[in-house]
């Protein structure tokens, strides 16, 4: 009887996961033969069917990359607390867990917590006890006494929360330190106390990440407005993969397309380098680049209205959006790979709070 109950529970979980895994396979062109009994929705399958379903899910787990799972779950309408919980338990129940399983578990814990937490939850309210209580349905009661080896995680979190710009967060080694602690934890990561600590860390760093990203975006709008007031029509934006005489009008349209994109559930990491470098270029044009960006070697060239021809006709917004999301250069790709945890929901940002840009 216990074995029958276990098989029944396993089949029930497989039926919940199958539509999502099938959609993932279609989305990312993963070539895998469908599981017939799951496809047809068999209610009471024989033991052999459960074993086949188990193998099918295992094969899919090996092929689905963490960035694919992240992107899909943050753009699909299929996500429910039940799905996230089932996905999480599916990975937690594996006898042997790979680094990929660890990253998926880490992501799913944060997603489940984010879905359950109030939208206006203050950072200082996100305590270990609060996170443990919220995730108790999947992890059970957890002793939140932190082991000594997790102490550095809090130090890294404080550094992330003190970062003043997105550039500082991305290039100050902060994210790498957090990632290093997680990777070096090995099997200790799967201790409930550690998973709670890392979920809290990732949730709060993610908040800092998006706060700084939208702060930079708003600073760009403010900088463009100030340059126009000074009579500047174009600036040198080659460092941000644009032209040496990029019209301010066009830059504003590009940033508007980014603003819309960053409201989406999934924000691609590709434009991050362009966003950081565009702010640096604007700071240079305003004559304050050296103070705000240590990477700036010299002020960018600016073109006064009286010395330049008429501003070229602005390209359609769709063209600008395509340009902003085009395949990045090598540094941008490296950046996207370095911060995979933060290709996440931007719905904490209130676009109405930055009116007038």
For 302, phi then psi, to 5°, come to -120, 150
pLDDT tens by residue, 83-141? 999 999 999 999 999 999 999 999 999 999 999 999 889 999 999 999 999 999 999 99
Q: Is residue 297 part of a domain?
A: yes
Residue 105 within any structural domain of the chain: no
pLDDT at 275: 85
The answer to whether residue 258 sits within a structural domain is yes
Tokens representing 189 are: 């990561």
In a domain, 15, yes or no: no
pLDDT band at 261 (very low <50, low <70, confident <90, very high): low
> Does residue 312 form part of some domain?
yes
The encoded tokens of residue 34 equal 């469908």
CB 252 within 8 A of CB 211: no
- Rounded Cα gap, residues 107 and 174, in angstroms: 18
For residue 252, the enclosing domain spans 223-354
Locate 139 and state its tokens: 């992890």
Residue 321 inside a domain? The answer is yes
Domain count, the chain: 1
Q: At 150, is the pLDDT very low, low, confident or very high (cuts 50, 70, 90)?
A: very high
CA distance 109 to 115: 10
Q: Is 169 contained in some domain?
A: no
Residue 242, number of CB atoms within 10 A of its CB:
21
Question: Is position 131 within any domain?
Answer: no
- What tokens appear for 179 in the block? 């990632």
pLDDT over 70 percentage in the chain: 77
Per-residue pLDDT tens over the stretch 211-253: 898 898 899 999 999 999 999 999 999 988 899 999 999 999 9
Q: Which residues face 235 on adjacent strands? A: 246, 302
State the pTM of this model: 0.75
Angular region, 287: left φ>0, alpha ψ -120 to 50, beta rest: left
């Amino acid at each position: 009887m216990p074995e029958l109950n276990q098989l029944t529970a396993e089949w029930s979980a497989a039926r919940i996961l199958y539509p999502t895994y099938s959609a993932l396979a279609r989305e990312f062109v993963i070539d895998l033969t469908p599981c017939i009994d799951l496809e047809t929705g068999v209610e009471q399958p024989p033991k052999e069917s459960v074993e086949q379903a188990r193998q099918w899910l295992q094969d899919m787990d090996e092929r689905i990359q963490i960035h694919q799972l992240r992107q899909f779950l943050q753009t699909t309408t299929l996500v429910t607390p039940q799905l996230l919980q089932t996905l999480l338990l599916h990975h937690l129940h594996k006898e042997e867990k790979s680094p990929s399983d660890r990253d998926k578990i880490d992501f799913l814990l944060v997603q489940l917590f984010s879905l359950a937490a109030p939208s206006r939850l203050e950072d200082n309210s996100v305590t270990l006890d609060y996170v443990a209580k919220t995730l108790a349905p999947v992890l059970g009661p957890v002793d939140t006494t932190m082991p000594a080896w997790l102490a550095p995680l809090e130090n890294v979190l404080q550094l992330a929360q003190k970062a003043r710009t997105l550039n500082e967060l991305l290039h100050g080694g902060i994210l790498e330190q957090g990632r290093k602690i997680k990777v070096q934890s090995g099997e200790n990561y799967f201790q409930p106390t550690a998973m709670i600590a890392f979920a809290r860390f990732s949730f709060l760093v993610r908040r800092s990440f998006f706060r700084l990203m939208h702060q930079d975006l708003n600073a760009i709008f403010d900088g463009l407005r100030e340059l126009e007031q000074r009579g500047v029509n174009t600036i040198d934006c080659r460092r941000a993969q644009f032209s040496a005489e990029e019209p301010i009008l066009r830059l504003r349209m590009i940033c508007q397309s980014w603003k819309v994109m960053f409201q989406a559930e999934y924000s691609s990491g590709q434009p991050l380098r362009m966003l950081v470098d565009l702010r640096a270029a604007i700071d240079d044009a305003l004559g304050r680049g050296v103070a705000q960006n240590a990477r700036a070697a010299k002020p960018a060239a600016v073109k006064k209205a009286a010395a330049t021809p008429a501003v070229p006709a602005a390209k359609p917004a769709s063209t600008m959006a395509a340009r902003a999301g085009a395949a990045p250069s090598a540094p941008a790709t490296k950046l996207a790979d370095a911060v995979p945890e933060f290709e996440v929901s931007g719905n904490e940002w209130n676009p109405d709070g930055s009116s007038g840009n």
